[in-house]
Structure 1
Amino acid sequence: MGNSTTKKGNFVAIIAMIFLFAMIAFVTNLCSPMAVILKNNFSVSDTLAQVGNYGNFGAYFLMGIPAGLLIQKFGYKKTALLALIVGIVGLLIQWLSGSMGFVVYLIGAFISGLCMCMLNTVVNPMLNLLGGGGNTGNQLVQIGGVFNSAAAVCVYILMGALIGDASTAKVSAAIPALMIALAIFVFALVVIFFTKIQEPEQPKADALADDKYSCFSFRHFKLGMLAIAIYGAVEVCPPTYILAYLTSAKDAVNPGLAMDAGYVGTLSAVYFIFMLIGRFVGGMIGGKVSAKAMIATVSFVAMVLVALGIMLPVEQTISFPGIDYTTLSLKWGEIPVGIFAIMLVGFCASVMWGGIFNLATEGLGKYTAKASGAFMMMVAGFAVMIGIQGLVIDLTHNYMASFIVVLLAAAYIFYYALWGSKNVNTDIPVE
């Protein structure tokens, strides 16, 4: 009877964590389409237009370790509830930015980022622990990623329809998406409040305070922190700058192809559809294939795809389907083959987050909660990587060449999977 109750409790907890995983993507991925709006609404450069991503991901640097400490003190459920309240405040401030200005939007994005960091700190270790760690833990994280990608797809399709003509887009156009996100947060607050979550036992703070070791004593964890920071270039930069490139005017300082934002929003959504499919496959095989083998394979393929994307001539195009939002019908457009190659990176990025987290925290035992907070802190690297590629674009005025940033990021992840992820500190007690 006891085992049956435990299994039922674990199942409910897993469903709750997967639901949170989806919400993280919905709010986080609002930032990239919003950059198209901000660029027009406030007349800023490509680098500054990504201010939403800087605020959102930059918040992880401030909140990463405190989020881990909150889990130690209050547990996973209370930390999730607090995160949702913070997220509601952040969304309301972003909504007000249309009439109050650029800086107000940055503040709202930053507060939302605090929420995303807290939720990520809850979701990833909980799914890993509920799965018992190892391959099964990795499998649950990948399944959570399927729902994460599905929410991202919805955001890009929705925002593509709302933006319409990128050259005239205003913050007010995004209000329906912000209200949807707000409703999701309120709904989640109620669901999580009434969901009974079996909390894993946390080590006493006094015991950890006197411990001469910490998660930072493990080399593979520190290298994993760097890997997750750099991984931001592989997941976020392609859809962000595909959207910017294809919608940018042909005579702009950073020239693009001046394509319809609705159609291009569909393309960005396809990137996350590829991620969704990849995570679904990863979830199915995650229990049989090691995270090391999985990450090494996809990072190598990502390098090849990005290299092709950079080298293939822009004039070489293929027909690709999109959506005509006025008639809700399928329409076809011409996109560079190189852009399609970079879109395929979505398959590769799909399993990287869960795999890197699994590799970085494997064998940490009692240090896992603090490690998760420190790990989330490095998501601030997403903002850094987006900023680096934006800076390369503003310096070279060449969107396609800027994807060298993504290629180099994939190369480091390949190194980490094969060599950097090995635990060379097995002498440290973790019980």
Structure 2
Amino acid sequence: MATYSSSTPVHAVEAGDYTRPLIVVTLLFFMWGLLTSLNDVLIPHLKSIYTLTYVQAMLVQFCFFGAYFIVSLPAGMLIRRIGYQKGAVTGLAIAAAGCAMFYPAAESGYALFLLAFFVLASGITILQVAANPYVTALGSPKTASSRLTLTQAFNSLGTTVGPLFGGILILSSVAPASTEQLAAMTEVQQAAYRATEAATVQGPYAVLALALLLLAVVFAMVRLPQISHAEDAVGMAATAPSQSIFRHRNLFYGTIAIFLYVGAEVSIGSFLINFMGERNIAGLPHATAATYVSYYWGLAMVGRFIGFAVMRYVSPGVTLAFCATMSMALVLAAILGEGRFAMWSILAVGLFNSIMFPTIFSMALHRLGDLTGRGSGILCMAIVGGAIIPFVQGFVADQVGIQPSFYVPMACYAFILFFGAKYARLYD
């Protein structure tokens, strides 16, 4: 069992003593979930405003999740120097700065929006690098997947609230202007239209910036324990790569699985509003479709609570393989189907996405010992899949259409099925 230190000498921690720090850290999971899922609302919104192709629109996710790749290792160095609590405060402050940048971005153009997404995600990355290994260390290794799944459930609560928040406050109830309608406008009318539509993000993101600053103040004042083993390990994420770390094959395959899982989940969410707007699917306006995006993330929340209970009795690997199989089947149904059947098939993937990230993460770190922190840093870097896979699907969508482009995330789930089956008995 891990120990932690505070201003008093280090003591062994009773299981009950983990409750308070878990509750506090769970607030972080909720907040970054809300901020991440708002991208699914902004992508079609910005696509419409600036008449972007799918590839251009996916630059939002490229900049957002690209920050994970660039910032993860420096975040490990930062957390080693200042600790988990101050690291969380720093991450919240940087995320708040990113949200504040949306105000001038609405008056400047798409390029500044992309920079704002990068800054926002940099703050979230610092939170991720600290929080995930922190949760895995607060209890028995055998229940690490279950515990991380529980905290991820509150992350899913944030992702469920995000699209509802964005749909009400950002997306207009009036359908966005079509390419033909924009072409019929004069340059002055186009500029006025874009300015009006872009300004809808200013108020909501200003509120989010204030909320993040308030949360930073709260975290600065609350006393949290520090887990010595986890803190030392996270610091190792910034050291020179060890020749032996990828000899742990579960970490090697787990890194690929995290890359593909995050890519698939983010890619599906990014295309949902446009997918449901297709005439042969549901023909929904953006504001209405945003409500249904909350079902996608809400089902993930429900699935994580279910997974929390199931994985106390069923092998994490077996559970992971089953969920990957169901995800593949549902994506295929959305590709081949039409109407509400196709719409609900793709939304239902959220239920089976639910346990994938925490399960892959904890399986990949299994028995790494002092290499746990370095492994965590590598896994957080692999979240860059959220930047690459949507970009790939965007390219396919531009070439052959949005519906067949979902073969891209379907292929990602095939590897996750392999990973779950291969390590079905990892904890035996």
Shorter chain as denominator, the TM-score bin is: 0.7 to 0.9
Q: 1:280 aligns with which of 305, 322, 326?
A: 305
- Hey, what does 1:145 align to over in structure 2? 152
Shift of 1:259: 1.9
State how many pairs are aligned: 395
Q: 1:284 to 1:38 in 2, by over 3 A?
A: same
Q: Which runs of structure 2 are paired with 1:273-352 in the superposition (5 Å)?
A: 273-312=298-337, 314=338, 317=339, 336-352=340-356
Distance in 2, Cα, partners of 1:212 & 1:36: 42
Q: Does 1:98 align with 2:106?
A: yes
- Hey, what does 1:241 align to over in structure 2? 271
Shift of 1:127: 0.9
Distance in 2, Cα, partners of 1:354 & 1:278: 12
Kindly indicate whether the alpha-carbon contact (under 8 Å) linking 1:64 and 1:376 is maintained by their aligned counterparts in 2: yes
Gaps spanning 5+ residues in structure 2: where? 1-9, 178-195
Distance in 2, Cα, partners of 1:234 & 1:211: 28
- Hey, what does 2:7 align to over in structure 1? none
Distance in 1, Cα, partners of 2:50 & 2:224: 44
Q: 2:413 aligns with which of 407, 410, 414?
A: 410
Kindly indicate whether the alpha-carbon contact (under 8 Å) linking 1:215 and 1:368 is maintained by their aligned counterparts in 2: no
Q: Match of 1:378, SS?
A: helix
Q: Match of 2:101, SS?
A: helix
Q: Which amino acid aligns with 1:413?
A: I
Q: 1:185 aligns with which of 212, 233, 251?
A: 212
Q: Which amino acid aligns with 2:413?
A: A
Q: 2:258 aligns with which of 203, 228, 231?
A: 228
Shift of 1:234: 3.1
Gaps spanning 5+ residues in structure 1: where? 318-335, 424-431
Kindly indicate whether the alpha-carbon contact (under 8 Å) linking 1:275 and 1:347 is maintained by their aligned counterparts in 2: yes
Q: Match of 1:75, SS?
A: helix
Q: Which amino acid aligns with 1:192?
A: F
- Hey, what does 2:24 align to over in structure 1? 16
Q: Which runs of structure 2 are paired with 1:356-371 in the superposition (5 Å)?
A: 356-371=360-375
Percent of matched pairs sharing the same residue: 23
Distance in 2, Cα, partners of 1:281 & 1:369: 28
Q: Does 1:55 align with 2:63?
A: yes
Distance in 2, Cα, partners of 1:362 & 1:89: 36
Q: Which amino acid aligns with 2:391?
A: G
Distance in 2, Cα, partners of 1:161 & 1:7: 42
Shift of 1:197: 1.8
Q: 1:245 to 1:309 in 2, by over 3 A?
A: closer
**When the two structures are superposed, what TM-score results if normalisation uses the length of structure 1?**
0.85
- Hey, what does 1:161 align to over in structure 2? 168
Kindly indicate whether the alpha-carbon contact (under 8 Å) linking 2:264 and 2:386 is maintained by their aligned counterparts in 1: no
Q: 1:60 to 1:184 in 2, by over 3 A?
A: same
Distance in 2, Cα, partners of 1:282 & 1:31: 26
Shift of 1:177: 2.8
Shift of 1:257: 5.7
- Hey, what does 1:118 align to over in structure 2? 126
Kindly indicate whether the alpha-carbon contact (under 8 Å) linking 1:68 and 1:374 is maintained by their aligned counterparts in 2: no
Shift of 1:36: 1.4
Shift of 1:415: 0.5
Q: 1:67 to 1:166 in 2, by over 3 A?
A: farther
Distance in 1, Cα, partners of 2:360 & 2:318: 11
Kindly indicate whether the alpha-carbon contact (under 8 Å) linking 1:83 and 1:115 is maintained by their aligned counterparts in 2: yes
Distance in 2, Cα, partners of 1:102 & 1:404: 29
Kindly indicate whether the alpha-carbon contact (under 8 Å) linking 2:264 and 2:389 is maintained by their aligned counterparts in 1: no
Distance in 1, Cα, partners of 2:240 & 2:335: 52
Distance in 2, Cα, partners of 1:257 & 1:300: 26
- CA distances 1:106-164 after superposition (whole Å, capped 9, x unpaired): 11100111111111111111111102222x21112111111111111111112222302
Kindly indicate whether the alpha-carbon contact (under 8 Å) linking 1:214 and 1:367 is maintained by their aligned counterparts in 2: no
Q: 2:225 aligns with which of 192, 198, 201?
A: 198
Distance in 2, Cα, partners of 1:5 & 1:352: 29
Distance in 2, Cα, partners of 1:9 & 1:186: 28
Name whichever of 346-355 and 111-120 sits farther off.
Answer: 111-120
Q: 1:193 to 1:234 in 2, by over 3 A?
A: same
CA RMSD of aligned residues (A): 2.6
Q: 1:209 to 1:28 in 2, by over 3 A?
A: closer
Q: Match of 2:312, SS?
A: coil
- Hey, what does 1:429 align to over in structure 2? none
Q: 1:263 aligns with which of 288, 311, 335?
A: 288
Q: 1:173 to 1:83 in 2, by over 3 A?
A: same
**When the two structures are superposed, what TM-score results if normalisation uses the length of structure 2?**
0.86
Distance in 2, Cα, partners of 1:71 & 1:214: 24
Distance in 1, Cα, partners of 2:311 & 2:224: 24
Q: Which structure shows the bigger proportion of residues in helix conformation? A: 2
